[in-house]
Structure 1
Amino acid sequence: MLVVSYSPLLVTAAALIALMAAFTGLSLTNGLSRLPAAQRKPMIVKAAIVLGGGVWSTHFVAMLALDLPVEVFYDPVLTLASALIAILMAGAALLLLHFGPRSDRRIAVAGAVMGLGVVAMHYTGMYGMRGCTPLFGTTGYAVSTTLAILISFGALKAAYGERTLRGIVAGAVIYALAILAMHFSAMYWTGFVAVEALRVSAPMVSNHVLAMLVVFAAFLICGAFLLTTATLSELAAGPARATEPSPEPLPARPAPRPTTRLPYERDGRTFFTPLAEVIAIQAEGRYTRLLRAGDALFCPLPINRLAEDLEGQGFIRTHRSYLVNLAHVRGFERRKDQGACLFDPQIRVAPVPVSRANLPVTMKAIGV
């Protein structure tokens, strides 16, 4: 067996590429569910290219970090195939998440698909090595596959459980960990045997050419990452506000009239739903979803605006991402230092969480 070592600098670079690609890809999918299907597909393609390209770039940067005592080449067909596999599997996972009702089971299946995409990409790329022969162990297959699937599920659960900036960042960190854990656990149980005479029957990709390809891919990922960092300020700050003071005092704001209906959009048109039919309101990025019996409507207003407009009209802020219509609350469940508001099972609306900070006010409002 050949003795190998790693370059710490390139291992660090691989980790950074994985993190940037994960954050960029998950940010591109934020808010897709409220778009028509025709507009969702191109965005899913872009996100899949970033996520799959990030997996591929991370793998081969980590392979460049591997110091082998022999000259290594790569089969161009298998190298290209490994990138396409990563992109297609990431795209399949995103399609599961953005077409059809999103549930824990669906997130679990998408996590398995995404994790298997990392595994398939890794071993396809490894089988393309020339100059030495990688020997894989059964333990390596089992451990790396298990880690990839479980951690990928955790990443999607964090990113899609609560579609906020914090959720996306947490999902990106966990998915980057999934890529790295899969790669290095597989490499731990992989040995390398030198090939006495390398027979080249077709053009091969040398380490130098591979390095240029990876640098180019990393450059694209970094560029996409820089563009999506605008999401940080948008999600954190909410609606844009004026940053310069007004030279003249603003007139007093007239007292708001009671709200009797809320707007929602569908097929490019705006409609209104009676306030009494809204059971709860859920934040989704800079917008909201109006939860009614059996359906959810896309509302263009942010949850902070709705909290102000509906103050004193029977709605209460139970969580930073939820408003609840007290008239529809049929029960309450205490969960340690948190809780959940329960509704009539016939209206098919899931329990709404109550955060620790809002627990006393909520319990008092519903009479618990």
Structure 2
Amino acid sequence: MLVVSYSPLLVGAAALIALMAAFTGLSLTNGLSRLPAARRKPMIVRAAIVLGGGVWSTHFVAMLALDLPVEVFYDPVLTLASALIAILMAGAALLLLHFGSRSDRRIALAGAIMGLGVVAMHYSGMYGLRGCAPVFGATGYLVSTTLAVLISFGALKIAYGERTLRGIAIGAVIYALAILAMHFSAMAWTGFVAIEDLSVSAPLVSNHMLAMLVVFAAFLICGAFLLTTATLGELAAATGQAAGEASPPSAPAASSTPADPAPAARRPTRLPYERDGRTFFTPLSDVIAIRADGRYTRLLRADDAVFCPLPINRLAEDLSGGGFLRTHRSYLVNLSYVRGFERKKDQGACLFDPKLKVPPVPVSRANLPLTMKAIGI
């Protein structure tokens, strides 16, 4: 068996690719289940390309980090096929998560598919190695497959438990760990035997240069997808904000014929929140304040803060005049819970009973006069 070592720089680059791809791919899936199927599928394709491509890029750079005493190259057909396997398996898992009811069983099955996709990509890619032959051990198959499946399930369980930035970030870290754990545990039980292959020709670029190109391409693709998603999200939020804060149009001139009164919109008595892939409802009377969380919101209650899939602008409109007041572009407050007010120059903060353990809600300068009037100051 050949003696091998690793380049720490390229191992670190592989880890960064895994983390970046996992975060980007999981971020692209945020909110997909609320989109029509026609719009959902292209986004799943993008996320699958990022996740599967990230798995392949991580494996490829980690293999280029492998320092063997013989010159090795990679078969382009098998290398490309291994990338397609990773993308297709990631896509299958995402389709399972975003079409149909998202139960614990579905999340477990999706985690198994994603984990097996990492395994299938790894071993199919290994068969593309030229210049030496890999010798696999049964223990390596068992350990690497178990780690990939279990850790991938844990990643999806957290990332899809509460669809927040924090949940997605933690899920991304765990999924990156699944990719790396699978690869290096499999490599720990893999030996290499030198073979003479006269058909192998020297590559146009060195393995280290190729690794840097793969790293650059991976970060470029992930960065472009992330920036595109962020830009679209900010544009949608800005559009909603403008619509929510725009001045009402001037009243039309009085007419001799009285107009029929518009039917009053029905004000909600409860709000939805999500936990562990399921939707529940909480009475409005239990909601102390509402805080914007990206394109969604957090409902602040006495004992917790739960994720709500509705945007702050819609809630401000639906709850207007119902005891809730928008004190800040990112906050709504239930006036019945306000126990004090703190003035901070041209801004302020609404205070609550300390037993509720809810932090003060800020009051912006634009909303200060209305807030003070509403609470009786």
C-alpha deviation, 1:149, in angstroms:
0.5
Over 3 Å counting, the alpha-carbon distance change for 1:299 and 1:280 in structure 2 is closer
> Structure 2 CA distance, aligned partners of 1:156 and 1:280?
25
Alignment partner of 1:111 is 2:111? yes
Partner of 1:78: 78
Partner of 1:293: none
> Structure 2 CA distance, aligned partners of 1:56 and 1:121?
7
C-alpha deviation, 1:211, in angstroms:
3.4
Partner of 2:266: 261
Over 3 Å counting, the alpha-carbon distance change for 1:281 and 1:311 in structure 2 is farther
Partner of 2:180: 180
Contact 1:288 1:303 in 2 (8 A): no
C-alpha deviation, 1:179, in angstroms:
0.5
Partner of 2:99: 99
In the superposition, the TM-score normalised over structure 2's length comes to 0.65
Deviations 1:318-346 (A, max 9, x none): xx9xx9xxxxxxxxxxxxxxxxxxxxxxx
- Give the letter for the 1:44 counterpart: I
Unaligned runs of 5+ in 1: 243-249, 251-258, 263-274, 290-296, 314-319, 324-355, 359-368
Equivalent residue runs for 1:301-320 within 5 Å: 301=312, 305=316, 309=320, 312=323
Q: Which has the larger radius of gyration?
A: 2
Off by >6 Å, runs of 4+ in structure 1 = 201-206, 237-242
C-alpha deviation, 1:260, in angstroms:
5.5
Partner of 2:141: 141
Equivalent residue runs for 1:20-169 within 5 Å: 20-169=20-169
- Give the letter for the 2:120 counterpart: A
Identity of aligned residues (%): 76
SS in 2 for 1:44: helix
Unaligned runs of 5+ in 2: 248-263, 275-292, 299-307, 325-330, 335-355, 359-377
Partner of 2:369: none
> Structure 1 CA distance, aligned partners of 2:226 and 2:74?
31
- Give the letter for the 1:109 counterpart: L
Deviations 1:200-221 (A, max 9, x none): 2899897548537624532433
Partner of 1:334: none
Partner of 1:286: 295
> Structure 1 CA distance, aligned partners of 2:58 and 2:140?
19
Over 3 Å counting, the alpha-carbon distance change for 1:146 and 1:178 in structure 2 is same
Over 3 Å counting, the alpha-carbon distance change for 1:86 and 1:24 in structure 2 is same
Over 3 Å counting, the alpha-carbon distance change for 1:106 and 1:285 in structure 2 is farther
> Structure 2 CA distance, aligned partners of 1:226 and 1:101?
27
SS in 2 for 1:192: strand
Over 3 Å counting, the alpha-carbon distance change for 1:310 and 1:207 in structure 2 is farther
> Structure 2 CA distance, aligned partners of 1:230 and 1:302?
18
Deviations 1:180-218 (A, max 9, x none): 0100010011111111x2142899897548537624532
Contact 2:297 2:311 in 1 (8 A): yes
Partner of 2:253: none
Over 3 Å counting, the alpha-carbon distance change for 1:285 and 1:222 in structure 2 is closer
Contact 2:15 2:180 in 1 (8 A): yes
In the superposition, the TM-score normalised over structure 1's length comes to 0.66
Deviations 1:110-142 (A, max 9, x none): 010011000000000001111111111111101
Deviations 1:54-87 (A, max 9, x none): 0000001101111000000111111000000000
C-alpha deviation, 1:99, in angstroms:
0.5
- Give the letter for the 1:119 counterpart: V
SS in 1 for 2:133: strand
Over 3 Å counting, the alpha-carbon distance change for 1:311 and 1:108 in structure 2 is farther
Over 3 Å counting, the alpha-carbon distance change for 1:107 and 1:76 in structure 2 is same
- Give the letter for the 1:191 counterpart: G
> Structure 1 CA distance, aligned partners of 2:12 and 2:134?
23
> Structure 1 CA distance, aligned partners of 2:212 and 2:10?
14
> Structure 2 CA distance, aligned partners of 1:16 and 1:301?
34
Contact 1:144 1:182 in 2 (8 A): yes
What is the aligned-residue RMSD (CA, Å)? Answer: 3.6
